[in-house]
């Protein structure tokens, strides 16, 4: 089947999915979880094959790629967890009588077909598929080529499980394989309603520049901490080191440290950071470079406003934090920073769907429309308006025979 | 000032606007309304000049272009009405304690800079500017060239009024004039966060195809009515004629009538529609043609499911209605139609922000993300996450020293 056929079938499936009740969706998820549990041996085998094929890879890539017993258990648990989530579609957002027997309802509904391009992590395919099923969306998935064997096996197990649920439409979960197919997918704006690229800056930028379909995600994570002159030294040391060194490659790790020039403990702070193996760069070539390692750009500023202005210019709009004991400065920062997550006295590493308590996340978005910050299943739904009348026509209201009432129900 | 400078200045203004309190915004709106009221003579004069320059235009264009006393009064009232709306930004959507003294708040905030391209209606510029100010967004406006004198005058009056409000940032409301400038504006994805084109299909399509900025709107309005075999004839006649003839050029007027082949009163329905001057086309060249006049495509179908399938294939996702006394069929239709507004026994002409009770609308969207259907001021806001802690770091939760609590406040 070519991409256009896959996309068209997914679109048709998505319309059937929209009116599927929650019980059927949960049965589908439980059936998937059981089929994965039953086939863990095959899954480990496929993962071993992928690792073998990967050849010489460094230990951090190997760690990410390898599916161990713990990750497998979490993967299965994750599917059961999604089944437990509240049904995100068919939720009445509000209902009002706009006139007698003329009821307007705003109700959540699925987006339709979602294309997801993700990196080589073995647990992503079941997670994204589960979230899509729970939110009544069809998906077209493209995984990292390093996980080809595993992804193909798991996509097969998912569809095998879905086939046992009679009411579940065919073609809701699809896996594609090549870069060429991704290129074609990005042109399917007639059938695909949202693209979520999860991966490198260059992947996200490529997707953003090559599709008319809305894209949800973030190209880069240029996060900042501003240490105010009214900061507590211990909090500053703790938060800065956590935000830089706890997982330097993460998008929510900081790249730039701004320090108020009058902060009394500047030297102590810098010494403590350096002790954690962080290299400090005082005049970087660029203020919007994402190191992804233990390097940190450093600048002194004269005020919270100068910090705000620097951050609003160079931040990628992901996560930025102030450290201060002065609530007025904290408020200026929280109000004025134009990023999806803005923090006071907390590590930027908290910017994550699981830590925010969303249960699961489809990614982190730096968009200014639709969904922003860590995106849970709520980001996979939209709404529609239902109007239920008893024969009403507009000319009666234009002529003045009738007037609207607007009573919230 | 060139477009890039206008856009950059608007972006900076938008950041200041974000932390402006509601009282200042309302003062700004009242000041604008007063300045427009004070200068109505000049406004009528500018409108006369525009009409003169337009030369030979037909009466419907003239009607749209002409600002009479009534429209001018509504225009001013519209600004006061927007000031009365609830402040759409800084609204707490939810607040939760994710651990002791670690509070996560989801709060609404402005989108940033919005580019609006609109048709030649004299009241649009003040309406869009008011909605932007109320929602703390900066705007770059491009009006129809037929209203150049009027738009330039009103934009000037708006900025004159804003200049009297000390706290209000400069450069929040901008008017541009040429197609060349629009082209440049569409490239300013660094500074502009949303484009709203209001106008012809070709304008909207041009915008969608020539920008990386998210676009909110609808290219076409291919709306349908399905008359079920269980329909009430009088309701059917009333609703179909209203939906087609009350304002045939409107985007929410119907283009196609689907009738159940077993509907007993088919002939009576067709006769009644024809009596209203509607021309019925039984085998149109295309099922997705927007007539915009009293022409109506007609098709008989064998079931509600066939009607749903036809509509989901050819509808533009704007507004579609079923007429039936059978609630089961109505439910199938309401659940299965993939459009932004789906109706039962009501005219499609109700699909409008004012009729939905939104106070004012920025347009109607057929998008599947961000905002859908008639879009009020809510479509001009997004949200951000604020995390307020007391020194918390992620390593404590990863190490198991601490666990998240998640208590909704």
A199: left (phi over 0), alpha (psi -120 to 50) or beta: left
List of chain B residues whose C-beta atoms are within 8 Å of the C-beta of residue A372: 382-384
Cα B309 to Cα B337: distance, rounded to the nearest angstrom: 8
Closest CA to B173 of B84, B81, B79: B79
Cα A385 to Cα B213: distance, rounded to the nearest angstrom: 26
Contact B214 A96 (CB under 8 A): no
Instruction: Report whether A108 contacts A83 (CB < 8 A).
Output: no
User: Which residue in the block uniquely carries the two structure tokens 């009293």?
Assistant: B294
Cα B221 to Cα B219: distance, rounded to the nearest angstrom: 7
Confidence check: pLDDT of B7 > 80: yes
Closest CA to B323 of B262, B238, B252, B200: B238
b/e per residue, B242-255, with b = 16+ CB within 10 A? bbbbbebebbbbbb
Closest CA to A98 of B258, B374, B398: B374
Contact A384 B340 (CB under 8 A): yes
> Which residues are CB-contacts of A396 (< 8 A; sequence separation ≥ 6)?
A402
Partner residue facing B406 (CB), from A212, A312, A357: A357
What mean pLDDT is reported for chain B?
95
Closest CA to B383 of B200, B109, B174: B109
pLDDT score for B182: 96
Instruction: Report whether A114 contacts A138 (CB < 8 A).
Output: yes
**3-state SS, residue B34:** helix
Confidence check: pLDDT of A60 > 80: no
Q: What is the mean pLDDT of residues B251-267?
A: 97
What is the nearest CA distance from B28 to chain A, expressed in angstroms? Answer: 20
Q: How far is CA B21 from CA A207, A292, B378, in A?
A: 38, 38, 17
pLDDT score for B62: 85
Q: Tell me: the pLDDT tens digits for B368-386? A: 999 999 999 999 999 999 9
pLDDT score for B133: 97
pLDDT score for B94: 97
Confidence of residue A122 (pLDDT cuts 50, 70, 90): confident
Confidence of residue B122 (pLDDT cuts 50, 70, 90): confident
A–B: how many Cβ contacts below 8 A? 226
Instruction: Report whether A193 contacts B368 (CB < 8 A).
Output: yes
Contact B393 A349 (CB under 8 A): yes
Cα B367 to Cα A212: distance, rounded to the nearest angstrom: 12
Q: Tell me: the pLDDT tens digits for B24-61? A: 999 999 999 999 999 999 999 999 999 999 888 888 78
Interface probe, candidates B384, B390, B408, chain A, greatest A C-beta count within 10 A: B384
In terms of residues, how long is chain A?
409
Confidence check: pLDDT of B120 > 80: no
Instruction: Report whether B297 contacts B257 (CB < 8 A).
Output: yes
Burial label, B300 (beta-carbon count in 10 A; 0-12, 13-18, 19+): middle
pLDDT score for B277: 97
Q: What is the mean pLDDT of residues A55-72?
A: 87
Which has the higher per-residue pLDDT, B350 or A357?
Answer: B350
Contact A372 B382 (CB under 8 A): yes
b/e per residue, A105-125, with b = 16+ CB within 10 A? bbbbbbbbbbbbbbbbbbbbb
List domains and CATH numbers for chain B. Answer: 3-216+366-384 (3.40.605.10), 223-350 (3.40.309.10)
Closest CA to A27 of A119, A134, A121, A175: A134
Phi, psi of B39 (to 5 degrees): -115, 25
pLDDT score for B398: 94
**What is the torsional sign of CA A87, B310, B370, B130?**
negative
**What is the torsional sign of CA B197, B202, B208, B209?**
negative
Contact A372 B389 (CB under 8 A): no
> Which residues are CB-contacts of A84 (< 8 A; sequence separation ≥ 6)?
none
Confidence of residue A360 (pLDDT cuts 50, 70, 90): confident
Angle at the Cα of A357 (from A352 to A359), degrees rounded to 5? 90
Confidence check: pLDDT of B272 > 80: yes
Burial label, B306 (beta-carbon count in 10 A; 0-12, 13-18, 19+): middle
Cα B198 to Cα B249: distance, rounded to the nearest angstrom: 14
Q: State what percent of residues in chain B have pLDDT above 90.
A: 89
Cα A89 to Cα A382: distance, rounded to the nearest angstrom: 8
Which has the higher per-residue pLDDT, A120 or B207?
Answer: B207
Whole-model pTM?
A: 0.94
A180: left (phi over 0), alpha (psi -120 to 50) or beta: alpha
Q: State what percent of residues in chain A have pLDDT above 90.
A: 89
Interface probe, candidates B393, B395, B400, B409, chain A, greatest A C-beta count within 10 A: B393
Partner residue facing B357 (CB), from A242, A350, A406: A406
Angle at the Cα of A384 (from A380 to A389), degrees rounded to 5? 160
Closest CA to B361 of B123, B135, B131: B131
Closest CA to B260 of B226, B309, B219: B226
Confidence check: pLDDT of B359 > 90: no
Partner residue facing A344 (CB), from B112, B389, B398: B389
Cα A335 to Cα A342: distance, rounded to the nearest angstrom: 9
Strands B113-117 and B194-197: parallel
SS (H, E, C) chain A: CCHHHHHHHHHHHHHHHHCCCHHHHHHHHHHHHHHHHHCHHHHHHHHHHHHHHHCCCCHHHHHHHCCCHHHHHHHHHHHHHHHHCCCCCCCEEEEEEEECCEEEEEEEEECCEEEEECCCCCCHHHHHHHHHHHCCCEEEEECCHHHHHHHHHHHHHHHHHHHCCCCCCCCCEEEECCHHHHHHHCCCCCCCCEEEECCCHHHHHHHHHCCCCCECCCCCCCEEEEECCCCCHHHHHHHHHHHHHCCCCCCCCEEEEEEECCCCCHHHHHHHHHHCCCEEECCCCCCCCCCCCCEEEEEEECCHHHHHHHHHHHCCCCEEEEECCCHHHHHHHHHHCCCCEEEEEECHHHCCCCCCCCCCCCEEECCCCCCCEEECHHHHEEEEEEEEEEEECCHHHHCCCCCCCCEEC
Partner residue facing B382 (CB), from A243, A350, A369: A369
List of chain B residues whose C-beta atoms are within 8 Å of the C-beta of residue A346: 102, 387-389, 391-393
Report DSSP state, residue B215: B
Query: Sheet holding A173-176: strands in order across?
Result: A173-176, A138-142, A113-117, A194-197
Instruction: Report whether B38 contacts B89 (CB < 8 A).
Output: no
Measured between CA atoms, the residue of chain A closest to residue B354 is: A404
Count the Cβ atoms, other than its own, within 10 Å of residue B92: 12
Q: What is the mean pLDDT of residues B173-201?
A: 95
Confidence check: pLDDT of B200 > 90: no
What is the nearest CA distance from B53 to chain A, expressed in angstroms? Answer: 32
What mean pLDDT is reported for chain A?
95
Helices H / strands E in chain B, number of each: 14, 16
What is the nearest CA distance from B120 to chain A, expressed in angstroms? Answer: 22
Q: Tell me: the pLDDT tens digits for A216-271? A: 988 889 999 999 999 999 999 999 999 999 999 999 999 999 999 999 999 999 99
The secondary structure element, H or E, covering residue B53 is helix B40-54
Contact B385 A342 (CB under 8 A): yes
Closest CA to A312 of A276, A281, A288: A288
Cα A294 to Cα A277: distance, rounded to the nearest angstrom: 7
Closest CA to B38 of B157, B152, B138: B157
pLDDT score for A51: 93
Instruction: Report whether A138 contacts A11 (CB < 8 A).
Output: yes
Confidence of residue A200 (pLDDT cuts 50, 70, 90): confident
Confidence check: pLDDT of B123 > 90: no
Closest CA to A325 of A225, A238, A223, A227: A227
Interface probe, candidates A384, A401, A402, A404, chain B, greatest B C-beta count within 10 A: A384
Contact B194 A369 (CB under 8 A): yes
Which has the higher per-residue pLDDT, A163 or A199?
Answer: A163
Query: Dihedral through CA A303, CA A305, CA A306, CA A309, nearest 10?
Result: 160
Burial label, B96 (beta-carbon count in 10 A; 0-12, 13-18, 19+): middle
**3-state SS, residue B195:** strand
ipTM: 0.95
pLDDT score for A64: 84
């Amino acid at each position: 089947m070519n991409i256009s056929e896959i996309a068209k079938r997914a679109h048709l499936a998505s319309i059937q999915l929209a009116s599927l009740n929650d019980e059927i969706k949960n049965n589908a998820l439980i059936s998937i979880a059981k089929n994965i549990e039953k086939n863990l041996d095959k899954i480990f085998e496929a993962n071993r094959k992928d690792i073998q094929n990967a050849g010489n890879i460094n230990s951090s890539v190997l760690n990410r790629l390898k599916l161990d017993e713990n990750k497998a258990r979490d993967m299965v648990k994750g599917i059961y967890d999604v089944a437990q989530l509240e049904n995100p579609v068919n939720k009445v957002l509000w209902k009002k009588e706009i006139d007698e027997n003329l009821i307007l309802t705003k109700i959540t509904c699925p987006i339709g077909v979602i294309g997801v391009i993700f990196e080589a992590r073995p647990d992503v395919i079941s997670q994204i598929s589960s979230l899509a099923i729970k939110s009544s969306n069809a998906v077209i998935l493209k995984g990292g080529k390093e996980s080809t064997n595993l992804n193909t096996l798991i996509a097969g197990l998912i569809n095998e499980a879905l086939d046992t649920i009679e009411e579940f439409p065919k073609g809701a979960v699809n896996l594609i394989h090549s870069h060429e197919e991704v290129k074609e997918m990005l042109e399917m704006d007639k059938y695909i309603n949202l693209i979520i690229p999860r991966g490198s800056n260059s992947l996200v930028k490529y997707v953003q520049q090559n599709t008319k379909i809305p894209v949800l995600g973030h190209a880069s994570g240029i996060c900042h901490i501003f240490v105010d002159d009214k900061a507590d030294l211990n909090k500053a040391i703790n938060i800065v080191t956590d935000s830089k060194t706890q997982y330097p490659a993460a998008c929510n790790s900081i790249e730039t440290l701004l320090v108020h020039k009058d902060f009394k403990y500047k030297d102590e702070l810098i010494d403590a950071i350096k002790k954690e193996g962080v290299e400090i760069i005082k005049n970087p070539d660029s203020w919007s470079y994402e190191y992804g390692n233990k390097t940190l750009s450093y600048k002194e500023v004269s005020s919270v406003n100068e910090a705000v202005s620097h951050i609003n210019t160079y931040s990628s709009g992901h996560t930025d934090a102030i450290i201060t004991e002065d609530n007025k400065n904290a408020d200026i920062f929280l109000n004025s920073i134009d990023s999806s997550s803005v923090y006071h006295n907390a590590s930027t590493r908290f910017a994550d769907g699981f830590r925010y308590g969303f249960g699961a996340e489809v990614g982190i978005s730096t968009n200014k429309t639709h969904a922003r910050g860590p995106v849970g299943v709520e980001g996979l739904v939209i709404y529609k308006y239902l109007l239920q009348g008893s024969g009403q026509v507009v000319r009666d209201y234009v002529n003045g025979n009738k007037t609207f009432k607007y009573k919230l129900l």
